[in-house]
Structure formats: structure tokens, C-alpha cells
Amino acid sequence: MEYVADAPGGTAGAHYNAIGISGTPFNDIPLFSFDDGTHGTIDVDYPDVVKGINGSSLCLLYDGFAASYGGAGTYFNGMFSGGTSEGKIISLGIPFETIYPEEIRNSLMSKIIDFFDVPTSVEIEDSENLPTEFYLSQNYPNPFNPSTKIKFTTPPQPSPYQGEGVRVGFVTLKIYDILGNEVATLVNEQKSPGSYEVEWNADSYSSGVYFYSLQAGDVKINKKMLLLK
């Protein structure tokens, strides 16, 4: 692995997304994010840009940058210089623990394990039990003071990067006041298909009508709730 730059484009704190490269161990990894300091680990404002050398190749790209510039990770599978048997290496330019959502991080680890041929058992998810459409429940309780819970489901979503059938999609769930001003963001990340529940604590907000909006791709669902103090 050859070091190219201390941040994509030479700009710190500007790029926080990467994607797998077709034909590599991370072939079907969709666009994912790493921590900008708001997801509980560290702000990866200087992710390393790297290139493959001596038989190694890129396996991850930073979003918006071509492979000719460099990427976010490399892999090698072959004979090391001076070695007597073949070996394998995967190197990342970003800290693994900062990658989110968890589903993507787990998928990356699974790909790494497969690459190294490590025996493991994997629970197979029953696709028949996955949601088939987006759903946003009425918050409960409603009216509420000061907290309320919101449930939603997301089906498998296509991706412009990976074609049809990609299971992970970017989802947002936001709260707006009666004037349409955004007051809170409850979800803002990629989600695997499934059912989710989030809680909004409105202790610091005034009584009144609020709206909450679930959006994923072209789908947008809005509902209304009432905060009474």
C-alpha cells in the first residue's frame, strides 16, 4: 500500500463516504459513511488516501474520486517478496470502528473473513420476512409530554451504485414545527430492511403541533403529532 494524501482532495473534514469496488473483496458494498464526530467514535477528518503497489489493488473508493486518484483501502493476495507461500492483506485508510451504520460495518467484516477463508457460521436472513414497503406509524403516545415513540419499516432498496436488490438504503426521519422549520433529526443514516423504533424527547420544546417526516429516495411519508405540556 502506498500513501497518497492525508485527506481526499487534500481537504480535511470534507469527505466522509466510501464505496466498494466491483471485482474486489468489497464488490457489493454500497456507499457508506464514517464518523464525522457525531456517531460516538472520533472525527475522521483526515482519512488516508492510498494506492495499491507491488501487486496490491484498491478495494474501496472515496465517494466522488476516481480510482486513478487513490482510495480508502487496498488488498493483496499472492506471494510476498522473499516469501515461500502465498499470503493475504487488507488495509484500510479509515478506522474500522468509525464506519456506520452497524449493518455495513458487519458486512465489511464478513467480507474480510471470507477473503481470509476463516471458517465461520452465518445466520441466513429469511427474505420472506422482510418488509415490502415503507411504513410510518402514528407516534405513541399522542398527545405526549415530553417523550413519544415512532415506529417505521424500510424494505430492500435499490442503489445507483450497485443496481437492483441492494438491501441497504439511506433513511431520514426529521421533526418540523408548525412553520415548517426543522427542529430535530432522529434518523440520518443507511438502514437495512427491517422494523425500527425511535424516541423523541421534546422536553426543551414548546407545546404545539409538530410534523414528522420519513424519507428514503423518492418516498416521503408525513404525519402530525401534538405536544401538550
Residue with cell 432522529: 186
CATH 1.10.730.10 correct for 127-227:
no
Boundaries of every domain in the chain: 2-115, 127-227
What's the pTM?
0.55
- Give the separation between CA 47 and CA 185, rounded to whole angstroms: 26
Q: Which three cell numbers stand for residue 134?
A: 415503507
> What is the widest separation between alpha-carbon atoms in the chain?
73
Neighbours of 159 (CB within 10 A): 19
Show pLDDT as tens, one digit a residue, over the chain (229 residues): 789 999 999 999 999 999 999 999 998 899 999 999 998 899 999 999 999 998 999 999 999 999 999 999 999 999 888 888 888 999 999 999 999 988 899 999 989 988 987 655 445 455 557 778 899 999 999 999 999 999 999 887 654 444 444 456 789 999 999 999 999 999 998 888 888 999 999 999 999 999 999 998 889 999 999 999 8
